[in-house]
């Protein structure tokens, strides 16, 4: 009886781990790098092959394009995994958390179906906070807690930097073999 009571009293623990993506990998594998602000979102069921899952399409206003085709001033839609449909929330650990009104730096990749995604999930998403000098400071995504060896990730290279420094760092990654 005690074992049965213990079985029902223990909660479920979920954990996700991810290999770190270096800044050079993010630059090499992304199709574009932008500074953008989410303005709206819509969650729905999407089917890929025989698998259905909840996704969220986030509309963002692009303020600057740092790499890739210049889409400055345009609205783009980025798809993330998870969301809320029918009053039920589906959380995908490690996914980029794009919040309406929170300006961010994004490393984007286009999937075969044409949708834009954040490369490496949370590893390709960085929050931007205005500083007292009129620049922006880079902060890692809140979804990074599952990254193994975080000292090897791009977050180590970018966190705390000014946005004005990021373009130079991206140039250095492109010229480094």
**Residue 164's domain is classified under what CATH number?**
2.40.50
pLDDT tens per residue, range 121-165: 999 999 999 999 889 999 999 888 777 777 788 988 899 999 989
pLDDT at 93 over 90: no
Which residue's entry shows tokens 């290999």? 19
Do the domain assignments include residue 144? yes
pTM: 0.86
Q: What total of structural domains would you count in the chain?
A: 1
Structural domain for 153, as ranges:
16-175
Q: What is the pLDDT of residue 55?
A: 94
For all residues of the chain together, what is the average pLDDT? 87
Do the domain assignments include residue 5? no
């Amino acid at each position: 009886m005690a074992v049965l009571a213990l079985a029902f009293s223990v909660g479920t623990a979920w954990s996700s781990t991810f290999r770190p993506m270096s800044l050079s990998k993010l630059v090499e594998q992304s199709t574009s790098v932008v500074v953008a602000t989410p303005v709206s979102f819509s969650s729905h069921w999407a089917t890929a092959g025989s698998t259905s899952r909840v996704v969220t399409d986030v509309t963002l206003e692009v303020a600057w394009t740092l790499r890739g085709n210049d889409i400055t001033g345009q609205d783009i839609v980025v798809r993330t995994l998870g969301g809320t449909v029918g009053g039920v929330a589906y959380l995908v650990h490690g996914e980029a958390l794009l919040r309406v009104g929170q300006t961010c730096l994004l490393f984007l990749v286009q999937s075969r179906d044409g949708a834009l995604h954040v490369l490496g999930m949370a590893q390709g998403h960085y929050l931007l906070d205005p500083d007292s000098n009129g620049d922006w400071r880079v902060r890692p995504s809140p979804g990074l807690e599952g990254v193994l060896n975080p000292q090897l990730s791009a977050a180590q290279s970018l966190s705390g930097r000014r946005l004005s420094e990021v373009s130079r760092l991206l140039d250095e990654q492109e010229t480094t073999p």
